[in-house]
Amino acid sequence: MPYLVTNQSRGGAVVAPRVEEAARWGLRLKGLLGRAHLEPGEGLHIVPCSSIHMFFMRFPIDVAFLDPAGRVVRAIHAIKPWRATRVYLDAHSALELEAGALVRTGTEEGDLLQFDRLG
């Protein structure tokens, strides 16, 4: 079931209206592999997650690493395929979005994101 993600530090601005959760091992392992792109407003929330890799990916993405409360501890813009992030020890999860989403929504490190289940 998807989530609506809003930025509480930016007056409840919508970061992504359709975010799927990958909390099981197999879903976390697959991530966005096999997709040709992410539509605007789509995303994947990987829980738990403190680093990501872009091996075999076909498109760049934005990534917000979040602490357990949903605060952005690291924001990475347009990470390209065949790259990897370092491990962020204070991160509990990663929110993967289409490239440009973080800038478009004004989401920055320190912002508090809220996840509300849809449906």
Give me the domain span that covers residue 69. 3-117
Q: Are 50 and 89 in contact (CB under 8 A)?
A: yes
Q: Any idea which of 6-10, 53-57, 71-75 has the lowest mean pLDDT? A: 53-57
Q: Which CATH number covers residue 25?
A: 2.60.120.1140
Is the pLDDT confidence value at 112 over 90?
yes
Element holding 28 (H helix, E strand): helix 25-30
Would you state the pLDDT for residue 3? Answer: 97
Name the domain count of the chain: 1
Per the listing, tokens 């790259």 go with: 83
CB–CB of 95/5 below 8 Å?
Answer: yes
Say if CB 46 and CB 31 are below 8 A apart.
Answer: yes
Q: What pLDDT, in 10s, does the model give residues 21-60?
A: 998 887 777 777 778 889 999 999 999 999 999 999 999 9
In angstroms, the Cα distances linking 2 to 16, 21, 51, 55 are 10, 7, 22, 25
